[in-house]
Amino acid sequence: MKKMYVWVMIVAMVILTACSDAYQDAMDKGIESLGAKDYHQSALYFELALKEKEDNQEAQVYFDLSKQMQEAMDAVEQYDYEVALPILQEVIENEAALQTVKDEAQKILKQIQEESELVADVERKLAVINDLISQEDYQAAQEELQLLQEQIGTQELLVTYQSEVVALMDDVNSALNKKVEADEPQQSQVQYATYSNERYGFQLQYPSDLTMDPPPTNGDGATFRNEDFTLLAYGSLTNVLEPGETIHTYYDRDLEDIPVEISYQKLTNDWYVLSYNDNGIITYKKFFFGDSFANTLIITYPESKKDIYNPITAHIAETYVSTAE
């Protein structure tokens, strides 16, 4: 009887040791898989550990953690951020979670925030473009669409917007073509001459029937006008207003000085455009910024004659080129 008891105890110890070894092996492999970000595999290992020790709290915590991270990763892959965000936040706030997993959750959360901001920026720009189209400002809408196409590029996150942008571009190009056709009889009568400024490296075309003011002695630019329309183009040195100037120095100053709501504004790395209506007078300004000099174009005309001068202004702006960089 005594021998039988000893034998039973030995068998029990062997079974317990085997169970313990199986549990620890599953836990070790699960934690290793967590570190490798293979959350599906880690969940399988922790599930094995729970089969060995059904009520083990540590195995249960790591199993739940693996399932959460896998669910979050699946949601991120589908750009379903509404599902992913609360799961990741729960992982980050879980005091029992491994720090490496919490760090990875924080990293993914930051990625989602950045991608969400990128999507929101595209949505804002599309709203601006649609507003410009509703105002029939097709030239400005076309410029915005071209910049948006460059931004979208081949980014997988934004590829769903590509078809919308292409459709809008088709609509805008069609509207511009119709406008050109409608303006052709009038525009065909406008003859253009070319003005070049060698000192500050810019050039543009202007209606040849405009009268040129006496040029300044320093040769910085020229003014052309008739009774309704004025075109001023000139160059100037930079780093004069303040040391270390950037394009924002001039852009921000203009925004502060304009006393009315701006109808259209566009800022790039080396040029900006501002257009506004002040008491019935439309002003269009385009500014090129360079390290050593800048070029400025300012056009004004009555709002009542915009049908005449809008296309002329567009032509001048399209031919206005600068070497400022």
Q: Give pLDDT tens digits for 254-291.
A: 999 999 999 999 999 999 999 999 999 999 999 999 88
Q: Model-level pTM?
A: 0.46
Beta strands (DSSP E) in 68-164 are none
Beta carbons of 205 and 192 less than 8 angstroms apart: yes
Q: Pick from 299, 203, 291: which is nearest to 247 by CA?
A: 291
Strand partners, 211: 225
Tell me the residue type at 270. D
Confidence band for 35, pLDDT divided at 50, 70 and 90: confident
Digit-coded pLDDT (tens) for 53-95: 888 888 888 888 889 889 888 988 888 888 988 988 888 888 8
Q: How far apart are CA 256 and CA 251, in angstroms?
A: 9
Q: What is the pLDDT of residue 259?
A: 92
pLDDT of 290 reads 87
Alpha-carbon distance values, 322 to 11, 198, 199, 204, 319 (Å): 91, 11, 11, 9, 10
Phi then psi dihedrals of residue 6, to 5 deg: -60, -45
Largest Cα separation within the chain, whole Å, is 127
| Integer angstrom CA distances of residue 7 from 4, 16, 19 | 5, 14, 18
β-strand partners of 212 = 224
Ramachandran category for residue 84: left, alpha or beta (phi over 0 → left; psi -120 to 50 → alpha) = alpha
- Give the pair of three-digit tokens for residue 112: 């989602």
3-class DSSP state of 21 = helix
- In degrees rounded to 5, what are phi and psi of residue 158? -105, 0
Give residues with Cβ within 8 angstroms of 305, minimum separation 6: 228, 229
> Sheet holding 192-197: strands in order across?
192-197, 202-207, 321-322
